[in-house]
Structure 1
Amino acid sequence: MKRRPYGDSGITVSSLCYGAMLIAQDPQLKGNVAPSLLHALDGGVRVIDTARIYPRSEAIVAATLKQWRGERPVLSTKLAPQTAATFREYRPIAEAYTPASVRRSVEESLTALGVETLDIVHLHQWWHLWTYDDAIFATLAALRNEGKIRHLAISAGDHEHDAVLEAVNLRRVDGIQLILNLFESRPLSSILPLAALRGAGVIARCALDSGGLTGLLTQDDFLARPFLRHAPFENYASRLNALAAHFVPASAQSLTELALRFALTAPEVSTVTIGMSSEAMVDVCLEAEQRGPLSDEAMTSIRREHVWTKNFYERLI
C-alpha cells in the first residue's frame, strides 16, 4: 500500500482509508470486532475515518484495534453537530457547534476510541461563513494545546466543496474532506490545487457514489439506499453505460476499479476513504489500488465528458 503525506502535517497516511460509517454492517462482526477492518489493516491500510454520529462506529473501531498487533493507524473522526439540519442547508454555526459542544464531542470520541489523542478531527459538514467564527477555532486550538487533538480538519457538505475554499486559503485548518468521483470531478479544478498550495491534507470520499458507480446496483437497490433513492435511475444507468463504453476495459477492468483509480490518481489527495465493511470489498479496493493511476488521457476525458452536476443528498433534510 502506497503512503502519502497528509498535507504539511508531518504525518503520512495510506492511499486507501477504511471508511467506518457502516462498520456495524460487517457480516462477520462478532463481539464488536470487525474482521473487515482487520483484513484492511493486514492489507496495508493505515488510516481509519469515522464520526461521532456513525452508529456504534467508534466503539467497534476501538474494540477491533485491541485485536490488532501491527502499526497503529491514523484515526480520523468528526465532531457531532447539535442538529442534522445544518447538513443540508446553511444555518449559523451556533446551531451546529458551540465551544461547549465541540469540547464535549472531542471528549466523547476520546473515550469511545480509547485513546488519549485524536489524530485528525473534522467539523462535520461545513459552510463558508463558519470560517470566520473565532470562538470555535479557539476552542479547537485549546484542545490541541491540551494534547487531545493533533490536526484540525473540516468536512465539506455534500457537493459543497467550494464552501471550504476560504478556510483552506486562510490556513485555518490542516485538512479537508470532500466528495470526489467520476461524476463529481469539479474539485480537481478548484479546491484541490489550493489545498496543495496551502499544505492541507485531503481525504476524498464517495469515490463510488454510495455504490452507484460500481455499476452493480439495480433500481430497487437505488430505492433502498438513502443517498441514491432520489437519483433518476435511467439517467444514472445511461451515464454508467457511457463510462463503461469509453473506459472498460480500455482503462480498467470494471467500473468499480475505474472509480477507485480515478480518485486515487489525483496527486493532491492524501487518502481515499471507502466503506469496506466486508473482507470481499477490502480485496476489491486493494487490487484497484495496486493497479496504479489512470492515464492523463483517461483523466482528462472523464473530467471533460462525464462530469455531472447533481445533488441527490439535498432532498434528505
Structure 2
Amino acid sequence: MGIALDPDLNNGISPSLLLALEKGMTMIDTARIYPGSEEIIGKSLRAWKGEKPLISTKIAPLTAKTFRQFRPLASAFTPQSIRDSVEASLRALGVERVDVLHLHQWFYLWSFEPAWFDSLHKLQREGKIGAIAVSAQDHEHDALLEIIRSNMVDCIQFIFNIFESRPKVSVLPLAEKHGVATIGRCVLDSGGLSGTLTEAQFAQNLFLKHAPFSDYQKRLDALRTAYVGTHANSLGELAVRYALSDQRLSTITLGCPTRALVHANLQAAANGPLPQAIVDEITTYHVWTKNHYERLV
C-alpha cells in the first residue's frame, strides 16, 4: 500500500506508516514532487526496527506543463535532472537504493525516444536504483502499451479501480504477456470510493474537486444497493477487494494517512478477492469514463 501524509505526525514520524509496517506492509510508494513525503518516510524508516520494505518513488519532471501538453521527453526529463532527482530522493529517504524508480508521467510517443533509458541503466549499475518503471498520468494507461511491448521497463503504474477498470482489456493482458510488473493506484479513487466523503470534502480534495458530486453519489448509491451488505461490509472494502481480485496486478497502493485507515484497508484485503461473477458484473456495469484531473495543471 502507498503512504499519504499523516495528520498525526510525531516529530516527523508517521504512526500510520509504522503500524502498516508492523502489520506486514511490504512496499511504500511515493514521489519526489509530493511535498515532504520522502522526508517523512525517511524519518519513519529510521524509527522502524523490522524488515525493510521496498521503496518506490518517482522522478520529478522539470515542469508541470508536460502533465497536460505533449512535449519532447527532454522537456520533462534529462540525464542530469534524472540523476538530481534520484540523488535528492536517496538523501531524503535515507537509503542507498530506491527499489522501484518511476518516470512520473508518460506519453505514448516518448516510447520512441530511448535516450532516457541509458541514464537509468547507469544508475542501476551504480546500485542506486533497482527496477525501472513508468507511472502513467491521469487515466492515460494506454500510453504505456508500446513501452510494455518493447520490454523497456520492469514495472508500470496506472489508475485502477471500480470506475477505471479499462486496463483490464489493454495494459494488464499485455503486461502479463511481457512479464512486466504492475502497480494499481487510486484504488479508492482519491477517497471517493470510500463512500464517506461529504460534498464539502469533495470541494477540498485536490483530485475530486472538479467531480460532479451528485453524479458521483448516484454511482456510489448504485454500488451500495447492489453489493454492500451482501458482498462487502462497506464501499471501501468493495473497492479494495475489487482491485485485489485481478491476479495480474502485482500490487496496489492505498493512501493510509491514519491508523484507522490502515486497519480498515488491511481488513478489507484479508477478506480476499470478490467472487468472479461479481467482479465481472462490476466491470461491465460500473465503469465510468471520466477524468477529474484535467483542470489541475
TM over 0.5: yes
d(CA) in 2 for partners of 1:249, 1:146: 52
d(CA) in 2 for partners of 1:219, 1:110: 39
Aligned twin of 1:58:
38
For the 8 Å contact 1:88–1:316, the answer to whether it is kept is no
2:191 aligned with 1:211, yes or no? yes
2:112 aligned with 1:136, yes or no? no
d(CA) in 2 for partners of 1:131, 1:277: 35
Structure with the larger RCO, 1 or 2 (CA within 8 Å, 6+ apart): 1
Partner amino acid, structure 2, of 1:73: P
2:139 aligned with 1:151, yes or no? no
Q: Following TM superposition, by how much is the alpha carbon of 1:133 offset from its aligned partner in structure 2, in angstroms?
A: 1.6
Aligned twin of 1:106:
86
Aligned twin of 1:4:
none
2:111 aligned with 1:126, yes or no? no
d(CA) in 2 for partners of 1:223, 1:209: 15
d(CA) in 2 for partners of 1:195, 1:308: 23
2:70 aligned with 1:115, yes or no? no
Aligned twin of 1:197:
177
Measured against aligned partners, the alpha-carbon deviations of 1:283-302 in whole angstroms (never above 9, x if no partner) come to: 00000000000011111001
d(CA) in 2 for partners of 1:98, 1:52: 16
d(CA) in 1 for partners of 2:149, 2:140: 16
Q: Give the counterpart of 2:245 among 236, 240, 265.
A: 265
For the 8 Å contact 1:35–1:279, the answer to whether it is kept is yes
d(CA) in 1 for partners of 2:186, 2:114: 30
d(CA) in 2 for partners of 1:157, 1:137: 19
d(CA) in 2 for partners of 1:202, 1:300: 20
Aligned twin of 2:76:
96
What is the TM-score when the length of structure 1 is the normalising length? 0.92
Structure 1 residue ranges, 4+ long, deviating more than 3 angstroms after superposition: none
Aligned twin of 1:5:
none
d(CA) in 2 for partners of 1:298, 1:316: 34
Listed as ranges, the matches of 1:20-99 within 5 Å are 20=3, 22-23=4-5, 26-99=6-79
Partner amino acid, structure 2, of 1:203: I
Q: Following TM superposition, by how much is the alpha carbon of 1:258 offset from its aligned partner in structure 2, in angstroms?
A: 0.2
Aligned twin of 1:304:
284
Structure 1 segments unaligned to the other structure (5+ residues): 1-16
Measured against aligned partners, the alpha-carbon deviations of 1:15-45 in whole angstroms (never above 9, x if no partner) come to: xx2x23x32xx23201111000000001110
Q: Give the counterpart of 1:187 among 150, 164, 167.
A: 167
Q: Give the counterpart of 2:212 among 232, 251, 256.
A: 232
Measured against aligned partners, the alpha-carbon deviations of 1:52-103 in whole angstroms (never above 9, x if no partner) come to: 1111111111111111111110000000000111122322211110111011
User: Secondary structure of 1:269's partner?
Assistant: coil
What is the TM-score when the length of structure 2 is the normalising length? 0.98
For the aligned residue pairs, the C-alpha RMSD in angstroms reads 0.9
Partner amino acid, structure 2, of 1:273: T
2:222 aligned with 1:250, yes or no? no
d(CA) in 2 for partners of 1:69, 1:272: 24
d(CA) in 2 for partners of 1:63, 1:225: 26
Aligned twin of 2:154:
174
d(CA) in 1 for partners of 2:71, 2:223: 37
Q: Following TM superposition, by how much is the alpha carbon of 1:148 offset from its aligned partner in structure 2, in angstroms?
A: 1.0
User: Secondary structure of 1:251's partner?
Assistant: coil
Structure 2 segments unaligned to the other structure (5+ residues): none
d(CA) in 1 for partners of 2:69, 2:21: 36
Partner amino acid, structure 2, of 1:212: G
Q: Give the counterpart of 1:222 among 202, 206, 217.
A: 202
Aligned length: 297
Aligned twin of 1:295:
275
